[in-house]
Each structure stands twice: as C-alpha cells, then as structure tokens.
Amino acid sequence: MRILFVAAEAAPIAKVGGMGDVVGALPKFLREMGHDVRIFLPYYGFLPDKMEIPYEPIWWGDAMFQHFAVYESVLPGTDVPLYLFGHPAFMPRRIYSGEDEDWRFTLFANGAAEFAWNYWKPEIIHCHDWHTGMIPVWMHQDPDISTVFTIHNLAYQGPWRWYLEKITWCPWYMQGHNTMAAAVQFANKVNTVSPTYAEQIKTPTYGETLEGLLSFISGKLSGIINGIDTEVYNPENDKYITQTFTTDTLDKRKANKIALQEELGLEVNSKAFFIGIVTRLVEQKGIDLILQILDRFLSYTDAQFVLLGTGDRYYETQMWQLASRFPGRMATYLLYNDALSRRIYAGTDAFLMPSRFEPCGISQMMSLRYGSVPIVRRTGGLVDTVSHHDPENAAGTGYCFDRYEPLDLFTCMIRAWEGFRFKPQWQELQKRGMSEDFSWYQSAKEYVKLYRSIYGLPEEEETPQPELVLNEAMANSKS
Ligand SMILES: Nc1ncnc2c1ncn2[C@@H]1O[C@H](COP(=O)(O)OP(=O)(O)O[C@H]2O[C@H](CO)[C@@H](O)[C@H](O)[C@H]2O)[C@@H](O)[C@H]1O
C-alpha cells in the first residue's frame, strides 16, 4: 500500500512530544512490512541544522492563494522518504505557538492535499492530530484516496476555532470550525493510541466536548497502542548513557544513577530513592497533583527528585522554587534535551507519571525499557502498559493508583519508596519491566489491519496474489 503520513512532528528532527515519536518510528516498521510509506512535514526554520536538505525543490504548488515548495529528503537514520512543505509561515525556528497557528497549519494541510492529488498519489493519507484535520474533509469524496486519522491528544483541537471556519471554507455542519471534529467525522477510520483511551473518549470526562460525535462514529473508532523505537532507545547500546546494561547486568545500572546525581548536582548516594519525570509541563500530566505533595514527600523521605520539562510558566516557576528549597535533593531542568532524558530514564529508580488523562504515553514505556519503575495513575494508555506490582505473585511492572487525588498519589509514592528498600524484589520488578515487549512490530501489524479494513479486506493476507485482491477491492469500495 502507498501511505502518506502527514503530521506536524517527526522524531528525531522535529519533536515536541509523543506524536513525534510515533510519526518518526511507525513508517519505518510499515516499510519493513513492504508498504511504501512516506512522510509530509513542514519545513521548519531549524531543520537545516539537523539534516541535509537539497537546495532545489522537487515540486511547486498552490494552496489558499499561496505558492509553496516541496523538498525531498529522507528521515535521518531511516529509509523513509520525507517531503518538506516549504513556506515562509514555517520559517520561524519553532514548531508550535504563535499568532498564526490556525492559518499556517490549515495551509500545511491544504498543501499536503495538493501534493497528494498532483505529485505523489497515495492510497491512504494517515493524518495526525488537529493540524491535519481538514484533509479527511477534502478527501472524503475522492474515489482514490482514503484517510485514517489518529488522535494523539484530544485536548488540542486547534486555536481560534470560530475563525477557522472562514479559512477552511467549510460550513459548521462539516465541522469547519474545529479541525479535530472535522477529521473525526470525515476520515474513513479514526483511531487513538490505546484501547482504554478509545473507550474513555466516548464519555464526558475524557471526550473534551467531542464525546457525542465520538460515540456516534464508534463503529469506525479503534485504539491501537503505541510502540517505542526499541532500536533507538536501547539500554544495551545507548551512547548517551554512562553505562550500558541489560537485565542480566542490572547491577551495572548503578553507575548511571551516580553519574546522573553528579551531573545534576545532587548528593551522590546510590541508596537514596531517586525519582525522575520527563514531560511537557501541562495540565494533562498531573503536575498540579505533584506540586501538592512533593514538598511533603521530600520532607518525609530521603528521596531525590529530578524534573526535565518545559511548558506552562506557572508549573515551571513552582517546580523551580521547590527545587531551591531542597538543594542537593531536587533538580529542575526547564529545557528540552533528548540525551538528558535518556540519562534520567537510565539513572533514576522510579519514573513519575500521574496523568489526568493519557492517550497512550511513551515516557512510561521508555522508563520501563531503561529499568526505571513507573509510578502512574491508572488512566488511558497507562492502564494498558503498566500493571501494579504484586510481590507475592512476582507480577506487575510498576506502582499504580486510581483517583486523581493528592493523597492517592502520595500513598502510591510512599509504597514505591518502601518497595525500593527490598532490593531483590525491586530488581525483579525492574527486570519484568525491561522484558516487556513495546516494539513497534505488533502495533504496526494493527495499523496494517486498520488500513486493510478500509477496503473490507481480511485481517491476514490469505490469497497468493494479495496486490491484485487489494486493487480490486479498492476499486469496488470507491465505485
Ligand atoms: N523536556 C523534554 N526533554 C526531552 N524529551 C522530552 C521532554 N519532554 C517530553 N519529552 C519526550 O517526549 C515524549 C513524550 O511522550 P508522551 O507520549 O509521554 O506524551 P505526549 O503528551 O507528548 O504525547 C501525546 O501523544 C503521544 C503519542 O501518541 C501519546 O502517547 C500521549 O499519550 C499523548 O499525550 C517522550 O519521548 C519524552 O521523553
């Protein structure tokens, strides 16, 4: 199948959060399975610092009365063809924020549609989040191109929605004022990034006002858990960490803890319970809950804490101030740094993720892979990826709590702190987590099933000539 991924982020060149991880990894695995997958991404002003981009564009197009160029390259570290949408609106050295979010991403989506119609025609456009939400609307009457829309974060439905209706030239009943809703309504298939979250978003608590629409289209809605790139994120050979290790050489991991404590200016103490968090500092991630209990937790225990993240100014300031009250025990790094994030996954004993809601969550899977035991709230994808520690039956991979309450988080952290004192059991817990299979292969298979289901094809290829069947079925489904 020919599939064009259209998204605002793709790791390792343009990543703010988990969506970048998915778009940077999934195409690679789909290509290994024999599909022709390519990525369409904005040409951000900072990209030339990160990769080689040819000087000459391969194609010029027009969208929304604007002339744009498309440059062809390859996603670094992979064989995935990458098309970069070149327009001055994306020249600033940032991915998001700014006055023109609505306009420039609508232009980008429109550019992607033009590109698919006129230059490289895919069978499926796989759209990601609100930035690409108008594509399913524009494609829904195209007999040759189908669309899959993946919801990575329902909370972001695009800014200035009342104004967007004018830009997209779509009336309210086509959801032109809300590109997330538009995509949900018009895409051939809609999925989100975990089965639990796919169920939760049909309820008012998690539906972000779209629960009615999502319930209505539930026949085409599914949940496919994300994977992580286990080749790139591998404690066995990660060049960014001090000491590589495996489940068999877990004792070596201590060197990472000590090196991290030194790097962060914390008291070097391999016995102290060391908790880390790597996150966007936004309401979703439960930062308010942490702020309510961290002071008390640090006062009652010998624990150390490191935060790496950027986001809301209020959370940044609060975390910064808290760190100043616990010198040598708490470090706050308000920046984005992939290498440091890996050292935190590899050097801390536990990883905190008390999310208010969580579509899937990549960070907890990374922490499991690097032997940092996750402490999570049981919501969304965290339910599907972390199970509660049960020492009696030697089961579970982390510590979980249910209610979004400070006391529940506090209790859970204390239980983890207590558990850390029992070294053999703790090591078993770490090993179970590290042995979990979060590779993309299983999820990529699920995506292929999803693509095939658009054409009513069986889950597995059962005939000797699948391509012929596929072409025939696609022709029938669109006629
Ligand atoms: N300051 C920093 N420095 C370095 N690295 C940082 C960082 N801040 C965050 N990261 C990295 O960004 C990623 C975060 O991914 P998550 O999936 O956990 O959350 P996010 O909310 O961004 O993703 C959304 O999309 C993904 C993908 O579908 C869903 O899993 C998730 O639930 C949804 O909220 C991780 O790789 C993490 O290491």
ipTM comes to: 0.98
Closest CA to 152 of 264, 15, 260: 15
Residue 338 beta carbon below 6 angstroms from any ligand 1 atom:
yes
Residue 17 beta carbon below 6 angstroms from any ligand 1 atom:
yes
Q: Which atom of ligand 1 is nearest to the CA of 17?
A: 22
Angle, vertex CA 17, rays to CA 13 and CA 21, nearest 5: 60
Confidence of residue 171 (pLDDT cuts 50, 70, 90): low
Nearest CA to ligand 1 atom 23: 18
Pairing of strands 66-74, 221-223: unpaired
For residue 474, the model assigns a pLDDT of 59
Q: How far is the CA of 279 from the centre of ligand 1 (A)?
A: 6
Q: How far is the CA of 362 from the centre of ligand 1 (A)?
A: 6
The count of C-alpha atoms lying within 13 angstroms of the C-alpha of 200, restricted to the half-sphere facing its C-beta, is: 24
Confidence of residue 460 (pLDDT cuts 50, 70, 90): low
Sequence-distant (≥ 6) Cβ neighbours of residue 353 within 8 angstroms = 277, 279, 285, 286, 361, 363, 364, 367, 374, 375, 376, 377, 382
Tokens, residue 479? 């006629």
Contact between 34 and 155 (Cβ < 8 Å): no
Q: How far is the CA of 46 from the centre of ligand 1 (A)?
A: 20
d(CA 260, CA 425): 24
Residue 341 beta carbon below 6 angstroms from any ligand 1 atom:
yes
Q: What is the mean pLDDT of residues 452-466?
A: 69
Residue 355 beta carbon below 6 angstroms from any ligand 1 atom:
no
pLDDT in tens, 100-121: 888 899 999 999 999 999 999 9
For residue 101, the model assigns a pLDDT of 85
To the nearest 10 degrees (0 to 180), the angle between helices 101-118 and 179-186 is 30
Cis peptide before 12 (omega within 30 of 0): yes
d(CA 113, CA 188): 16
By percentage, how much of the chain surpasses pLDDT 70?
93
For residue 475, the model assigns a pLDDT of 57
**Residue 281, SS3?**
strand
Residue 167 pLDDT > 80: no
Q: How far is the CA of 458 from the centre of ligand 1 (A)?
A: 33
Q: What is the mean pLDDT of residues 213-227?
A: 97
**What is the distance of C-alpha 11 from the center of its chain?**
10
Is 449 among the annotated ligand-binding positions?
no
Residue 41 beta carbon below 6 angstroms from any ligand 1 atom:
no
Contact between 377 and 354 (Cβ < 8 Å): yes
Contact between 283 and 404 (Cβ < 8 Å): no
**What is the distance of C-alpha 470 from the center of its chain?**
30
Mutate to test the pocket of ligand 1, among 233, 280, 372 (most ligand atoms within 8 A of CB): 280
Longest dimension (CA), the chain: 69
For residue 221, the model assigns a pLDDT of 98
Residue 358 beta carbon below 6 angstroms from any ligand 1 atom:
yes
Q: How far is the CA of 16 from the centre of ligand 1 (A)?
A: 7
For residue 479, the model assigns a pLDDT of 44
H or E element in which residue 24 lies? helix 18-32
Sequence-distant (≥ 6) Cβ neighbours of residue 106 within 8 angstroms = 64, 134, 164, 167, 168, 179
Mutate to test the pocket of ligand 1, among 15, 16, 21, 151 (most ligand atoms within 8 A of CB): 21
pTM: 0.91
Q: How far is the CA of 21 from the centre of ligand 1 (A)?
A: 8
The count of C-alpha atoms lying within 13 angstroms of the C-alpha of 269, restricted to the half-sphere facing its C-beta, is: 12
Residue 384 beta carbon below 6 angstroms from any ligand 1 atom:
no
Q: What is the mean pLDDT of residues 326-330?
A: 97
By percentage, how much of the chain surpasses pLDDT 90?
86
Mutate to test the pocket of ligand 1, among 241, 282, 362 (most ligand atoms within 8 A of CB): 362
Confidence of residue 72 (pLDDT cuts 50, 70, 90): very high
Nearest CA to ligand 1 atom 26: 18
Q: How far is the CA of 440 from the centre of ligand 1 (A)?
A: 16
Residue 359 beta carbon below 6 angstroms from any ligand 1 atom:
yes
Name the E strands within 334-433: 350-353, 373-377, 399-401
d(CA 54, CA 400): 49
- Count of CB atoms situated within 10 Å of the CB of 313: 10
Residue 21 beta carbon below 6 angstroms from any ligand 1 atom:
yes
Tokens, residue 11? 């790791």
d(CA 204, CA 210): 8
Q: How far is the CA of 194 from the centre of ligand 1 (A)?
A: 15
Name the E strands within 87-145: 124-128
Calculate the alpha carbon distances from 418 to 181, 274, 302, 328, 426 in Å: 46, 13, 11, 21, 10
Closest CA to 298 of 280, 281, 321, 273: 273
Nearest CA to ligand 1 atom 11: 17
Tokens, residue 328? 């040598």
Tokens, residue 162? 């009342």
Residue 308 beta carbon below 6 angstroms from any ligand 1 atom:
yes
d(CA 68, CA 112): 11
pLDDT in tens, 419-436: 999 999 999 999 999 999
